[in-house]
Structure 1
Amino acid sequence: MSADQQDDDVASGWTKQGFDRLLSVHRPIVLAHLRSIRKHDPAASPEEVIRILEKRYIRAVTAGGAATGAAAVVPGVGTIAALGISGAETVGFLEASALFAQSVAEVHGVPATDPDRSSTLVMALMMGPAGASIVQQFAGEVTGSGQPRSAYWGELVTKRLPSTVLKGLTDRVRKSFVRRFAARQGASVVFRAVPFGVGAVIGGAGNRIAGKRVVTATKDAFGPAPTTFPGEIRLPDPPRAVAG
């Protein structure tokens, strides 16, 4: 069996287990998340809201990685059990990455309303420059002209690429993502099961590094924050005082 066939089998297995569903969040949840941030800090600009999203995301994935690594220290939690907990934490990392990526896309006014677009966006972001290269190369093939390296590719995935060609991009991104992510997570899961507290350090630090890569990739994908919020996440105007 060739390497490509093995990758297809792995990708198919992950998809059957609901893998793609982990990488997309229902839009009402994303909008509610953003509105809660805006209500807490109504004066925050789009750039400041994105900074808040970044801090929350890094904090969440770092805490998740550390907590999973620390499980190996708890009496009665063996290596096999620790590996199982790490699998659950991996799900949490994927879900947190999906919420973060889709929230940033919303602030930029290019929401990923389709589950396939959402999962493709998150996978590409988690691969960093390699994901960006796949998207830009695919877009160049479809349009017949290469995308300029300065183009913000996040909008290509969420909006500009026609739905009729999106499946080809999703398949290409997924194959590369599964190959990279499965290999990385395989080593990471073992490290998190290291006893004596070492796993907690590796788990938290590893997720922090991975999370920062996603944040950097998101900036490259969407560019500078807009100056105004899109309609869906604007706060209602305060009621006008009634003259007595």
Structure 2
Amino acid sequence: MARFNPAGKVASGAVFDREGRPKPGVQRAIERAIEVQRPLVLANLRRLRKKNPNATPAELNAKLERDYLVAITAGGAAVGGTAVVPAIGTVVSLGLSAAATVGFLEATALYAQSVAELHGISTEDPERARTLVMGILMGEEGSALIQATLGSSAGGVTRHWGNMVGGSMSSSAVRSVGASIRKRFLKRMLARQGSALLGRALPFGVGAAVGGAANHKMGRTVIDSTREAFGPAPTVIPGELLTDLERLASSNGERSV
């Protein structure tokens, strides 16, 4: 590796302060990116069911996974590909990479919350939804942290922690879990995305391969974490979700599926 990497210096100065803490603007951007509103989640599921009216929950879940991987892999490669354009400088390329990171987080939040709804877990409560997404994005570390917190605050926890955080847990316990995971989430997310961000800014087209591959790898980790959080898909679509989807279809002037 070269002794001096200007891209690394620019990225570090744009993301962290002198004490190594994420800058407030970066924190806000990350937190906003994972706060997908429930109407968007329902619209995503409605679109999927409209295309696949006879699909089982397990089949819909598999399609959510496929669509998610395709979206984030293509997004990472597209931004990485801009590094080959002569007019795109390091600073601009890093800015586009940061935008791709936000896009990755938004896609992940939409995917994770769509899976939660498919499991009968409403994402209407922003605190619960945000905690679910942060835990999933942190992978094994997030799962272990939430399991440990739940074990001490809720008198034990089932294997699939997402079902408890998203449903039966009290609001005060969710706030406690959310506070515990938030700081670690920000640090770990920036650490993981840091190499991907710089990778997308590599020149000569290499960034496209690194950006797409990095997003795909992180996406696989997210899918594994989501499966661990919620477990197997239910055998039937939850009744409350069906009602909400039918209400959405009616408001859009569509026929029910």
Counterpart among 113, 134, 141 of residue 102 in structure 1: 113
Letter in 2 for 1:189: L
Q: What is the TM-score when the length of structure 2 is the normalising length?
A: 0.83
Whether the 8 Å CA contact 1:61–1:96 is kept in 2: the answer is: yes
Counterpart among 23, 37, 44 of residue 34 in structure 2: 23
Q: Output the CA distance in 2 between the equivalents of 1:162 and 1:11.
A: 32
- Report the equivalent of 1:3: none
Whether the 8 Å CA contact 2:196–2:215 is kept in 1: the answer is: no
Deviation at 1:147, TM superposition (A): 2.8
1:1-244 equivalent positions in 2, closer than 5 A:
10=22, 14-15=26-27, 17-143=28-154, 145-147=155-157, 151-234=159-242
Whether the 8 Å CA contact 1:154–1:222 is kept in 2: the answer is: yes
Q: Output the CA distance in 1 between the equivalents of 2:32 and 2:125.
A: 11
Structure 2: gaps spanning 5 or more residues: 1-18, 247-254
Letter in 1 for 2:110: L
Whether the 8 Å CA contact 2:29–2:102 is kept in 1: the answer is: no
- Relative distance call for 1:156 and 1:182 in structure 2 (3 A) is same
Letter in 1 for 2:211: G
Deviation at 1:125, TM superposition (A): 0.5
Q: Output the CA distance in 2 between the equivalents of 1:78 and 1:21.
A: 27
Letter in 2 for 1:214: V
SS of 1:92's partner is helix
Letter in 1 for 2:62: R
Alpha carbon RMSD of aligned pairs, Å? 2.0
Letter in 2 for 1:74: V
Residue identity over aligned pairs, in percent, reads 46
Letter in 1 for 2:163: E
SS of 1:10's partner is coil
Q: What is the TM-score when the length of structure 1 is the normalising length?
A: 0.87
Whether the 8 Å CA contact 1:11–1:178 is kept in 2: the answer is: no
SS of 1:225's partner is coil
